[in-house]
């Protein structure tokens, strides 16, 4: 089984690239950020203020059980039988997810969940996040660090939001997220020597996917 780890900062295009790459090779897809967002939504809805208590709420009641469906064409995250795929993209969740993701108990719980999802992939899987190649799956056959300059990332994120959100505010929010993700106590966002750095500042989605696909083919990972 091939595991492709795609790490990088917010707004670099990890989700679009990872989904397209997984679809191209008929592999599974995992957005680890969606799992953290789902737990953030759970905390908001149930009034949890001490984030270390979040894992204890996932099976009690069972309606809060966390489930990931890794079809790259239609990825879904569920709490119990309820899809929260759209709800986790709200501004409120976005504003709080970094704090939840920085909690050691939450990270420890989701580390086990993520590894179980990866191990269950039948052929291969593209996993995106911030600590995939360094913590979640350090033995990944291909490790990508996808990045872009802050201005380009803010422009892309503003386009994704499809609202009248001020670009300067988006850029400021991304810079704050970068700072928090790269300085937290555990599983921080960082580049390591065995990652292939792909700078998407001036590349289209297709160009980025093509560049990474060539790496997959050169390593013969499509033959797994």
In this predicted structure, what is the pLDDT of residue 3?
97
pLDDT, tens only, 10-48: 888 899 999 999 999 999 999 999 999 999 999 999 999
- Residue 137 falls inside a structural domain: yes
Cα dihedral sign for 120, 4, 17, 112? positive
- Residue 220 falls inside a structural domain: no
- Residue 110 falls inside a structural domain: yes
Length of the chain measured in residues = 224
- Looking at 30-34, 77-81, 150-154, 201-205, which range is the least confident one? 150-154
Check: CB of residue 38 under 8 Å from CB of residue 160: no
Q: How far is CA 3 from CA 37, 43, 141, 205, in A?
A: 23, 31, 6, 21
DSSP 223: G
Average pLDDT over residues 88-102: 92
Of residues 1 and 32, more confidence is placed in 32
Q: Both tokens of residue 104?
A: 């050691």
Check: CB of residue 11 under 8 Å from CB of residue 157: yes
- Residue 85 falls inside a structural domain: yes
- Residue 222 falls inside a structural domain: no
The model's pTM is 0.88
Residue-range definition of the domain harbouring residue 114: 2-208
Counting the structural domains of the chain, the total is: 1
- Determine the Cα–Cα distance for residues 104 and 82; give it in Å rounded to an integer: 26
In this predicted structure, what is the pLDDT of residue 168?
75
Check: CB of residue 195 under 8 Å from CB of residue 144: yes
Q: Both tokens of residue 60?
A: 């009690």
- Residue 134 falls inside a structural domain: yes
Residue 70 belongs to domain with CATH number:
3.40.50.300
| CA angle (165 as vertex; 163, 166 as ends), nearest 5 | 150
- Residue 13 falls inside a structural domain: yes
- Residue 221 falls inside a structural domain: no
Phi, psi of 120 (to 5 degrees): -85, -5
Of residues 78 and 148, more confidence is placed in 78
């Amino acid at each position: 089984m091939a595991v492709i780890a795609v790490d990088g900062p917010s707004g670099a295009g990890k989700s679009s690239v990872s989904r397209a790459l997984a679809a191209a090779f008929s592999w599974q897809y995992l957005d680890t950020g969606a799992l953290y967002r789902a737990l953030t939504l759970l905390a908001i809805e149930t009034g949890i203020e001490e984030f270390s208590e979040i894992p204890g709420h996932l099976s009690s009641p069972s309606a809060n059980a966390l489930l990931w469906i890794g079809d790259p064409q239609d990825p879904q995250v569920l709490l119990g039988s309820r899809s929260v795929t759209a709800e986790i993209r709200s501004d409120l969740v976005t504003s709080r997810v970094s704090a939840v993701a920085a909690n050691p108990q939450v990270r420890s719980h989701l580390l086990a969940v993520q590894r179980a999802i990866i191990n269950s992939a039948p052929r291969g899987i593209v996993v995106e996040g911030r600590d995939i190649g360094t913590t979640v799956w350090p033995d990944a056959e291909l490790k990508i660090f996808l990045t872009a300059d802050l201005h380009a990332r803010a422009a892309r994120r503003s386009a994704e939001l499809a609202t009248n959100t001020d670009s300067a505010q988006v850029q400021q929010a991304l810079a704050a997220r970068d700072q928090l993700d790269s300085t937290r106590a555990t599983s921080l966002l960082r580049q390591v020597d065995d990652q292939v750095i792909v700078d998407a500042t001036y590349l289209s989605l297709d160009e980025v996917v093509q560049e990474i696909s060539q790496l997959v083919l050169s390593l013969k990972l499509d033959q797994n």
